[in-house]
Structure formats: structure tokens, C-alpha cells
């Protein structure tokens, strides 16, 4: 009876990859250390995974049994960030890993309505190899000469945050920004480069300038050390996915949670504190109130702000200051014979100055094996983002027609796709504007005023899948430290590098 009275409860709100990771880590750590902790996960929708969702569609055609693997959200994750790989290893998913196809590890960029290969050795915004840069058709000669000035320009004296647009224009010139950095880097974050924070998104380039003065010299040194010839644009050899799609990771996490942990279709109406016990009162829209000793809010910043407005107006206002962009993914299955382009790469990005409807397109069935049967090609076209928000809101038919118009021009697509699927992600991508790191530091300091509260998700320290996994892990550790460190003594969670 005494043990039951002393049990703690943690509630995770939000069942995306961040919330799932936090819930899994709380359960796993409680079981490993025999901690008296119950965990609940509340998800407003009817499924787990958030933007991660894999669909398996029957492939239209005479051969029965052929199928298409469609990713509605991210189709891979960056393997160089260890948190994703480490979690997958822990879940026993190593046998499910697949990498990008080795035959065509290059990408393209659109210039004047044509696909041009990104020059070998080019990394997001700057060249690392001389001859491919000199001979590329991606830049004009005046643009190349201006970029070469990076070799003699001094370092920036100030340590203040600056935008991607200001940084690239200062180091490499306007054409480098418009023709490469905006579609490559801005496309990763679906962001406006005039507002995107360098400190929060591309600190490696700031470090290159500090250490080497010149980005070009830094990249040449880096490539000489790495010795990875033949890679251009996004380094696709460093990306990983799963044989049966990204849903594999979501399902594995869910399978490791005890029955009764997850509560779907359970949106939370409000939060408050019990003035007597100082526990959290969680009020779902469709059920009785729950009391909790700790909360992990694994939601978007605006959703988190809504729940915290009555408790901490200042913290809620700071969360609302993080803007978001919307996007849509249009997945098309086409006959290979209907595409004139050789498709000898992973995909292409589209500079905003090209004034197309697309911001990017991935050759999904070229990039990863097993996405489409022989004779078919699966394309993932991306629309919207901070620079083209209105396109993401277009009706399905208009989106499809706009995407087809661009693909007919850029890939020589003829005929009619055998499948078209639209996935929308309204207000799903946080925008890391200049000053983002200082803003997040202030938010986290404000959140620490509330014992047992942890904020987690892609709004704070990274938007990729590994970043979300790390955020969920850290939120779980903060909760465990808060709940159990004081009484743990020599068994304190500090032994797992968790601050108490």
C-alpha cells in the first residue's frame, strides 16, 4: 500500500516522434531502475507519429501484388546525428536500415528552366572543389568570380547572430544566395533566408569562418580529410531510412510501450496546478481530469502556448513568437517511359527566383530501393514553405495541376500519372529566425520555474528526426531528475549524465 501511495505519474502530451521517444524513455528508465512511475501518453489524433506516416498503395496496372511505398512526411533521417541511429539500435531495427542508392548520389538545381547538376564538392552554399566549380553551369561567370572573393575576405568581427541571407551575401555574393543557398539551406527549413538564423541552423559555417576565415578553404580542407569524391549537394550517403518506410520507427516505439499507455483521440483542453498538492491537473476534452507529477509537452509551440496561457502568460507569449510555415507533398507514380530525364540523381531543388510552383522534388524510387515496381517511378514534389505559403493551401486539384506543369517542363514528363496523393502539413515547420537560440534559452529558463514541466519538440533545438529524438530523450531525463534525484542518493540519475 505504501508503494502505491508513493507512486508518481508522468503525462506526455503529443504522440509524434518526440512524445513517443519521451514516453519510451520514461518507461524504459523506470523499469531499468525500478522507479515507482506510471506514464501516460495523450494524443489528439487517431494515430501516432505526427508528420511521420507511411502508406502502402496498390500499384495500378495489370500485375497484381505490385505496390508503392509513399512517405507522407520525412522519408529518411540524417545518420551523422547519433540520436536516431542509437535509438534504432536500442529498438533492434538495424536489420531494417537502408541507405540511399549508390549509383546516382548527386542532386540537381534548376537554372533557367533546366536541371543542372550541383557541382561535385559543393556543400549547401559554398564550393570545396575547384574544377567542378569553375566548369559548372549553375552559376554565371560574374557569380563565380564574386564567390571566389571569399578566399580573401576577412572574418566577421561581430559574434551577433545574422541571417542566412546576410551571411551568404557577405561571404559569397547575391547569386550564391539566390541560386544555391536559398533553395538548398532554406529548403531544408522551408524558410525565408532573410530571417533564418545562422547560429541556430548552420553553425558549422560560422565555425568555418572563425577557424579558416574562408569557407572555400575550410571546405577544401574538410573534403581532403573526408576523401568522399562524387558527392554533391545534400550528402545522400549520410541518410538512412527503413525497408518498409519511416513508419517502422513509430511502430517500434509504440510496440515497446505497455498496453494502456497510449490514449488516442484524447485532446487536452487545459492545464492547471492543484494548489494543495502542487500536482498538475490535465483536463482532456473527452474524459475525466488526470493528476500528474510531471508533464512533457511534445507539441508545436502554438499548441504548447495555448495550454500554458492561463498558467504562465509570459512563457505562452514567448512560445507564440516562434513562427511556423506550411507545406504540402504531392506524390506521383509515373511510368518510367513517360519521363524523358535520365533521373540519374536523387532529386532537385528550385530557387525561388525561378518562380516555379515547386520548391523541390525527390526521385523517391531512385533514392531508395523498394519504393516502386520496375517500370514505375515515384516522385515526391514539395510545395509551400515560408516563401510560398499560399501554394500549400491550394485545393488538391490545383496543386496536382501546378506540380504537373513544372514536372512536364523540368523532367519532360508526358502522359498522366497512375497515382497522385497529396499530404498537407499546415503550420508544421518552426521557423528559426535570427535570435532563435537566445529566444529558446529564455523559454527554457521560464519553463524551469514550473517543477516537473518539460518542453520538447522541433521548435527548439533542431527540426530533423534525430533532433526530435534527442529532445524527447532530454525531456524524459529532466522529468526523471526532477521526480527522483532528491531521494536517490548514491543511485541518482547523475550516473547517466542527467543534471540534478
Mind listing the pLDDT tens digit for each residue in 14-51?
Answer: 999 999 999 999 999 999 999 999 999 999 999 999 99
More confident residue, 4 or 274: 274
Q: Is 139 contained in some domain?
A: yes
Domain that holds residue 270: 2-49+246-322+433-496
Predicted pLDDT of residue 489: 38
Residues 170, 38 share a domain: no
Residues 442, 424 share a domain: no
Tell me, what CATH number does 290's domain have?
A: 3.50.50.60
Least confident stretch, 2-11, 68-77, 78-87, 195-204: 2-11
Predicted pLDDT of residue 65: 60
Tell me, what CATH number does 148's domain have?
A: 1.10.3110.10
Say yes or no to pLDDT of 432 above 90.
yes
- Residue that is last in its domain, among 201, 232, 263: 232
Residues 210, 265 share a domain: no
Confidence of residue 237 (pLDDT cuts 50, 70, 90): low
Q: Is 109 contained in some domain?
A: no
Residues 285, 197 share a domain: no
Confidence of residue 223 (pLDDT cuts 50, 70, 90): confident
Predicted pLDDT of residue 1: 33
Least confident stretch, 64-73, 211-220, 253-262, 356-365: 64-73
Q: Is 178 contained in some domain?
A: yes
Q: Is 112 contained in some domain?
A: no
Residues 364, 299 share a domain: no
Predicted pLDDT of residue 277: 81
Residues 329, 314 share a domain: no
Residues 313, 342 share a domain: no
Residues 465, 401 share a domain: no
- Give the mean pLDDT of 64-69: 79
Q: Is 101 contained in some domain?
A: no
Percent of the chain at pLDDT exceeding 90:
84
SS3 of the chain: CHHHHCCEEEEEECCEHHHHHHHHHHHHHHHHCCCCEEEEEECCCCCCECCCCEEEEECCCCCCCCEEEEECCCCCEECCCHHHHHHHHHHCCHHHEEECCCCCCCCEEEECCEEEECCCCEECCEECCHHHHHHCCCCCHHHHHHHHHHHCCCCCCCCCCCEHHHHHHHHCCHHHHHHHHHHHHHHHCCCCCCCEEHHHHCHHHHHHHHHHCCHHHHHHHHHHHHCCCCCCCCCHHHEEEECCCCHHHHHHHHHCCCCCCEECCCCEEEEEECCCCCCEEEEECCCCCEEECEEEECCCHHHHHHHHCCCCHHHHHHHHCCCEEEEEEEEEEEEHHHECCCCCCCEEECCHHHCCCCCEEEEHHHHCCCCCCCCEEEEEEEEECCCCHHHHHCCHHHHHHHHHHHHHHHHCECCCCCEEEEEEEEEEEECCECCHHHHHHHHHHHHCCCCCEEECCCCCCCCCHHHHHHHHHHHHHHHHHHHHHHHHHHHCHHHHCCCC
Residues 227, 123 share a domain: yes
Q: Is 348 contained in some domain?
A: yes
Predicted pLDDT of residue 485: 77
Tell me, what CATH number does 356's domain have?
A: 3.90.660.20
Confidence of residue 3 (pLDDT cuts 50, 70, 90): very low
What total number of domains does the chain contain?
3
- Give the mean pLDDT of 158-183: 97
Confidence of residue 221 (pLDDT cuts 50, 70, 90): confident
Q: Is 205 contained in some domain?
A: yes
Predicted pLDDT of residue 59: 78
Q: Is 383 contained in some domain?
A: yes
Amino acid at each position: 500500500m505504501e508503494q502505491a501511495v508513493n507512486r508518481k505519474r508522468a503525462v506526455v502530451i503529443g504522440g509524434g516522434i518526440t512524445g513517443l521517444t519521451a514516453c519510451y524513455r520514461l518507461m524504459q528508465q523506470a523499469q531499468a531502475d525500478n522507479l515507482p512511475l506510471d506514464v501516460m501518453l495523450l494524443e489528439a489524433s487517431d494515430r501516432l507519429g505526427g508528420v511521420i506516416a507511411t502508406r502502402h498503395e496498390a500499384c495500378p496496372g495489370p500485375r497484381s501484388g505490385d505496390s508503392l511505398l509513399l512517405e507522407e512526411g520525412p522519408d529518411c533521417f540524417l545518420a551523422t546525428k547519433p540520436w536516431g541511429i542509437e535509438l534504432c539500435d536500442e529498438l533492434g531495427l538495424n536489420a531494417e536500415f537502408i541507405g540511399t542508392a549508390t549509383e546516382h548520389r548527386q542532386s540537381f538545381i534548376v537554372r533557367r528552366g533546366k536541371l543542372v547538376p550541383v557541382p561535385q564538392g559543393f556543400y549547401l552554399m559554398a564550393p570545396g572543389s575547384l574544377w567542378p566549380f569553375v566548369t559548372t553551369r549553375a552559376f554565371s561567370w560574374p557569380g563565380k568570380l564574386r564567390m571566389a572573393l571569399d578566399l580573401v575576405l576577412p572574418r566577421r568581427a561581430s559574434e551577433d547572430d545574422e541571417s542566412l541571407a546576410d551571411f551568404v551575401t557577405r561571404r559569397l555574393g547575391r547569386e550564391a544566395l539566390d541560386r544555391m543557398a536559398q533553395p538548398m539551406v532554406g529548403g531544408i527549413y522551408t524558410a525565408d533566408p532573410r530571417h533564418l538564423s545562422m547560429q541556430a541552423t548552420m553553425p558549422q559555417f560560422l565555425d568555418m569562418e572563425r577557424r579558416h576565415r574562408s569557407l572555400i578553404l575550410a571546405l577544401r580542407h574538410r573534403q581532403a580529410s573526408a576523401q568522399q569524391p562524387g558527392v554533391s549537394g545534400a550528402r545522400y550517403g549520410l541518410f538512412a531510412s527503413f525497408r518498409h518506410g519511416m513508419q517502422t520507427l513509430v511502430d517500434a516505439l509504440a510496440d515497446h510501450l505497455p498496453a494502456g499507455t497510449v490514449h488516442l483521440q484524447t485532446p487536452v483542453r487545459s492545464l492547471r496546478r492543484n494548489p494543495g498538492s502542487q500536482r498538475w491537473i490535465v483536463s482532456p476534452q473527452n474524459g475525466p481530469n488526470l493528476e500528474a507529477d510531471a508533464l512533457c509537452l511534445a507539441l508545436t509551440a502554438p499548441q504548447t502556448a495555448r495550454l500554458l496561457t492561463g498558467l504562465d502568460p509570459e512563457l505562452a507569449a514567448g512560445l507564440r513568437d516562434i513562427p511556423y510555415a506550411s507545406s504540402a507533398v504531392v506524390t506521383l507514380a509515373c511510368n518510367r517511359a513517360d519521363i524523358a530525364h535520365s533521373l540519374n540523381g536523387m532529386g532537385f531543388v528550385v530557387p525561388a527566383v525561378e518562380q516555379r510552383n515547386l520548391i523541390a522534388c525527390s526521385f523517391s524510387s531512385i533514392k531508395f530501393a523498394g519504393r516502386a515496381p520496375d517500370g514505375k517511378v515515384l516522385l515526391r514534389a514539395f510545395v509551400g514553405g515560408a516563401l510560398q505559403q499560399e501554394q500549400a493551401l491550394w485545393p488538391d486539384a490545383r496543386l496536382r495541376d501546378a506540380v504537373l506543369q513544372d514536372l512536364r517542363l523540368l523532367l519532360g514528363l508526358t502522359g498522366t500519372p497512375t497515382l497522385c496523393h497529396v499530404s498537407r502539413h499546415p503550420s508544421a515547420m518552426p521557423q528559426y529566425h535570427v535570435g532563435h537560440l537566445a529566444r529558446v534559452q529564455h523559454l527554457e529558463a521560464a519553463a524551469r520555474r514550473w517543477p516537473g514541466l518539460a518542453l520538447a519538440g522541433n521548435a527548439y533545438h533542431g527540426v530533423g528526426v534525430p533532433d526530435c529524438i534527442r529532445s524527447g530523450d532530454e525531456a524524459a531525463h529532466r522529468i526523471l531528475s526532477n521526480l527522483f534525484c532528491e531521494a536517490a542518493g548514491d543511485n541518482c540519475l547523475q550516473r547517466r549524465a542527467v543534471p540534478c
